[in-house]
C-alpha cells in the first residue's frame, strides 16, 4: 500500500536534537538547533584564542582518562597478544605463536560456537518480543506505569537476575520445574544439561533486557507521525498490514540499533554464566568471555587471553560493520 502524505514524512533517522526535544527536555522551551562546528558570527578570532586555555583545562581529565585507561590499554592489549605473559615475569615476544595456538584450540572454537548460539537466541527472541511489546504499548496501552513495570528487570544487576532464575529453575525446588512436573511429569535440568544451558542463559538475558529495548523501540514509534496510520486506515489496511508495511520499515534504523546493541552485549556475556554454570556442564556454556577469564585468572596465561580478546574484538567490529552495511543497503524502501 502507498502512504500518501502531504509535504514530506519525517526522515527515518530522526536528528538527535529533534529526538531530544520530544523526550528528554521540558517541552515549550525555545531551542535553536545549531550545526556542530559552526562558529557563531559574533565570535571573533580573538575570542577563539581566549577560549583555548579554558578548553584545554576543561578537557584535561577526560583526555587523561582516555589516554591512560583506554588508548594505552587498547594498544597494550594488542601488543600482549603477540607475547608470552604470565603476569609475574615481563612479557616476551613470541610473534604469532598465540594465534597459531588459537587456530588449533578446540576449546576456543567450541566456545565461539556456543557464544554465537547464545547471540542468535538472544537477538531473535529479544528483538521480536521487544518489538511486539513496544507496538502493543504504543497502539493499545499507552501507560507510563506499564512502561515503568517492564523496565524493572533492567534495574537489577545481572548477578541478581541470574540468581533468581537459577532458584526458579532449580531441578528439585524450582517453581518452574514444579509446574513442569505437574504438566508433563518430567522436570528439566536447565543448567545441568548441555542442551538446556545456553537457552536458559539466553532466557535470563532476554528477560533482563527486553524492557529496555522495548522502550527504545517505543521511543522510535513516538517519532512516527500518527497521520501515517490515519492514511493507512483510510486505505483500508488492517493492523497487521500496517505493522508490516508501515511500522517495521519506518522503524528500521531503531531496529538495526537494537539488534547491533544486542549483538554487542550478547557477545560479551559473562556475569550470568559466572554466577550460574561457570561454563559447564562440560563446556556446554563456556562462552568466549568465560574462557578468556579462565585463561587469564585461573591459568595466568595473559598473553593467550589477550589474543582471545583481540579475536573477540575483531569479530565484534566485523559483525557490527556488516550489520550497519546491510541495514544501509535496505534503506531505500523508506520514502
Partner 1 sequence: MAVTLAPGRTALPRRPRQDTRRFSPGRIAAWIYLGVIVLATLFPFYWILRTALSNNYKLATDPSSPLPVGFTWGAFERALGIASTAEAQAQGGSGASLDIALYLRNSLIYASVQTALIVLFSACAAYAFSRLHWRGRDLVFNVLISALMVPGVFTLLPNFVLVKDLGLTNTFAGLILPGGLFQAFTLFFLRQFMLGLSSEVEEAAIIDGAGPLRIFLRIILPMSSAPLATVSLLMFVNAWNDYFWPLLITNGQNVQPLTLALGVFKQSSPQAAPDWAGLMAAALIAALPMLLLFIAFGKRVVNSIGFSGLK
Q: By CB under 8 A, is residue 99 in contact with partner 1?
A: no
Q: CA angle, corner 44, sides to 40 and 47, nearest 5?
A: 100
Figure out which of the listed residues 268, 280, 281, 283 binds partner 1, where binding follows CB under 8 A.
268
Q: By CB under 8 A, is residue 157 in contact with partner 1?
A: yes
List CB contacts of 267: < 8 A, sequence separation 6 or more: 115, 119, 288, 312, 315, 316, 319
Distances (CA, A) of 266 to 218, 279, 322: 22, 15, 17
Quick check: 176 and 169 in contact, CB under 8 A?
yes
Task: Look at residues 223, 270, 251, 312 and name the one whose alpha carbon lies nearest to residue 127.
Answer: 251
Q: By CB under 8 A, is residue 20 in contact with partner 1?
A: yes
Q: By CB under 8 A, is residue 62 in contact with partner 1?
A: yes
Q: Closer to partner 1 at the Cβ: 105 or 170?
A: 170
Q: By CB under 8 A, is residue 248 in contact with partner 1?
A: no
Select the span of 55-63, 99-107, 113-121, 192-200 touching partner 1 (CB under 8 A). Answer: 55-63
Q: Closer to partner 1 at the Cβ: 93 or 297?
A: 297
Q: By CB under 8 A, is residue 187 in contact with partner 1?
A: no
Measure the CA–CA gap between 209 and 151, rounded to whole angstroms. 8
Measure the CA–CA gap between 130 and 217, rounded to whole angstroms. 8
Figure out which of the listed residues 7, 27, 28, 30 binds partner 1, where binding follows CB under 8 A.
30
Select the span of 94-102, 191-199, 298-306, 322-330 touching partner 1 (CB under 8 A). Answer: 298-306
Q: Least CB distance from residue 90 to partner 1, whole Å?
A: 11
Cell matching residue 260: 547491533
Q: By CB under 8 A, is residue 76 in contact with partner 1?
A: yes
Measure the CA–CA gap between 178 and 169, rounded to whole angstroms. 9
Measure the CA–CA gap between 160 and 163, rounded to whole angstroms. 5
Q: By CB under 8 A, is residue 164 in contact with partner 1?
A: yes
Select the span of 94-102, 148-156, 187-195, 326-334 touching partner 1 (CB under 8 A). Answer: 148-156
Q: By CB under 8 A, is residue 163 in contact with partner 1?
A: yes
Provide the 3-class DSSP secondary structure of residue 195: helix
Bridge partners (DSSP) of residue 93 are 83
Figure out which of the listed residues 140, 183, 282, 329 binds partner 1, where binding follows CB under 8 A.
140
Select the span of 93-101, 113-121, 185-193, 232-240 touching partner 1 (CB under 8 A). Answer: 232-240
Amino acid at each position: 500500500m502507498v502512504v500518501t502524505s502531504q509535504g514530506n514524512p519525517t526522515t527515518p533517522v530522526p536528528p538527535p536534537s529533534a529526538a531530544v526535544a520530544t523526550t528528554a527536555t521540558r517541552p515549550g522551551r525555545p531551542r535553536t538547533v545549531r550545526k556542530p562546528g559552526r562558529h557563531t558570527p559574533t565570535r571573533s578570532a580573538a575570542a577563539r584564542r581566549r577560549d583555548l586555555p579554558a578548553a584545554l583545562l576543561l578537557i584535561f581529565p577526560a583526555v587523561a582518562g582516555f589516554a591512560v585507561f583506554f588508548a594505552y590499554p587498547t594498544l597494550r592489549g594488542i601488543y600482549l597478544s603477540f607475547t608470552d605473559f604470565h603476569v609475574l615475569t615481563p612479557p616476551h615476544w613470541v610473534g604469532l605463536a598465540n594465534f597459531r595456538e588459537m587456530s588449533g584450540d578446540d576449546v576456543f572454537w567450541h566456545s565461539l560456537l556456543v557464544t554465537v548460539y547464545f547471540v542468535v537466541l538472544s537477538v531473535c527472541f529479544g528483538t521480536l518480543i521487544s518489538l511486539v511489546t513496544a507496538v502493543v504499548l504504543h497502539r493499545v496501552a499507552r501507560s507510563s506505569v506499564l512502561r515503568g513495570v517492564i523496565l524493572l528487570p533492567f534495574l537489577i544487576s545481572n548477578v541478581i537476575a541470574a540468581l533468581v532464575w537459577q532458584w526458579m529453575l532449580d531441578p528439585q525446588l524450582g517453581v518452574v520445574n514444579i509446574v513442569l512436573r505437574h504438566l508433563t511429569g518430567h522436570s528439566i535440568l536447565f543448567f545441568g544439561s548441555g542442551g538446556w544451558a545456553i537457552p536458559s542463559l539466553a532466557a535470563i538475558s532476554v528477560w533482563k533486557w527486553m524492557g529496555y529495548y522495548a522502550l527504545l523501540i517505543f521511543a522510535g514509534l513516538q517519532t512516527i507521525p500518527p497521520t501515517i496510520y490515519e492514511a493507512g486506515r483510510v486505505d483500508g489496511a488492517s493492523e497487521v498490514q500496517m505493522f508490516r508495511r508501515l511500522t517495521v520499515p519506518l522503524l528500521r534504523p531503531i531496529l538495526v540499533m537494537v539488534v547491533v546493541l544486542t549483538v554487542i552485549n550478547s557477545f560479551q556475556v559473562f556475569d550470568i554464566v559466572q554466577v550460574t554454570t561457570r561454563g559447564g556442564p562440560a563446556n556446554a556454556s563456556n562462552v568466549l568471555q568465560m574462557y578468556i577469564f579462565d585463561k587469564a585468572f585461573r591459568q595466568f596465561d595473559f598473553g593467550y587471553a589477550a589474543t582471545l580478546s583481540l579475536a573477540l574484538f575483531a569479530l565484534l567490529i566485523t559483525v557490527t560493520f556488516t550489520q550497519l552495511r546491510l541495514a544501509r543497503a535496505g534503506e531505500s524502501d523508506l520514502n
